[in-house]
Amino acid sequence: MGWFTKSKTADTQPAQVEDIWQICPKCKAHIHKEGWAKALQVCPQCGFHDRMTAGDRLRLLIDPRTFREFGNDITPRDPLKFSDAKGSYAEKSKETAAKLGIGEAVVTGSGDINGLRCVWAVMDFRFMGGSLSSGCGQRILKAAEHALAHKRPFIMVSCSGGARMHEGIVSLMQMAKTSVAIARLHEAKCPYVSILTDPTTGGVSASYAMTGDINITEPGALIGFAGRRVIEETIKQKLPDDFQTSEYLLEHGFIDAIVHRKDMKDFLSRYLAYRK
C-alpha cells in the first residue's frame, strides 16, 4: 500500500523506549541504571547516598544465605481505629504490607558478617515513612532480647521519619520500650551498633538510634529531631546550611564515624572483631 493510501487507523505511536537512566535526586546527573545498581545506589558524580530497601541493605551487609528472619508475625495494631480522608489506617497498613512484601517498617533476624553471627533490625522507609509503631517497637524489642539471650552483637539500621502518629501515645511508648531493651544490652556488655541513614528523625533519633555503643552514619544523611523550619521559627535564627547532616553531627560530637556504603560491611566487621 502506498503511503498516500495508508489507512489512518494504522499504528503511528512510536515504540516505547526502555527507561535506562536513573536521575540523581541531588545533582540531577543521569546515571545508567546498571551502573547505579553496581554503585550501590550511590551517585558517582556527587556521592549522594540514595535510600535502600531493607532487603537491599541486608544483602549488602550480611554473608550470603545466612539471614534468618524472625518477628515477621508481628504486624501493626490499630488502637485508635484511626481513619482519615484517604481511608483507615488498618487498610492502609495491610495494602502497604501486600505491596512491599514486608509486614512492618522494620525487618528483624539473624545473619553473619564475615562469619560472625549478629542480630539485625533494619528499617525500610517505604513502609509508611519507616515510622515507629507498636509493631516496629515489638520487633525491635524481640530482636534485642534475642541478641541478649544468645550474647550476640545487635545491629540496628535506622531510616525513619519518626513515630507513627496513627497509633497516638502507643507509638510514643515504643521510644521507652526500645530504649529499655537497648539499656539491657549495655548492662550485659552486648555490643550494640547503631547505623543512622537518610533520614533518621523524630522519635527514632530521640531513642534507640542515638544510643549505640558506636553511632555511625552514611555521608550526607539527614539526622535530627524537629525539622529545620520548626527550629528556625522557634529560635528566630537562621541555621547553618549543613545543619542536621552527618558531617555537621560528626563535627559536633553527636556521631562517631561517617562510613561510605561500600565500606560499611568491612567497617562493622573490624569493629566487632575489636569488641571481641
pLDDT at 7: 52
- Kindly list the domain boundaries of the chain, sorted by start residue: 19-50, 51-275
Block mean pLDDT (10 aa), the chain, length 276: 51 57 95 95 96 97 98 95 94 97 98 97 98 98 98 98 96 97 98 98 97 98 95 95 96 97 97 86
- The CATH classification number of 51-275 equals 3.90.226.10
- The reported pLDDT for the residue numbered 5 is 53
Residue 160's pLDDT is what? 98
C-alpha cell at 89: 489506617
pLDDT of residue 275: 75
pLDDT of residue 274: 87
Instruction: Categorise residue 253: left if φ over 0, alpha if ψ from -120 to 50, beta otherwise.
Output: left
pLDDT attached to residue 18:
55
- Residue 276's pLDDT is 67
**CA neighbor of 212 nearest in space, from 185, 186, 194:** 194
pLDDT at 15: 44
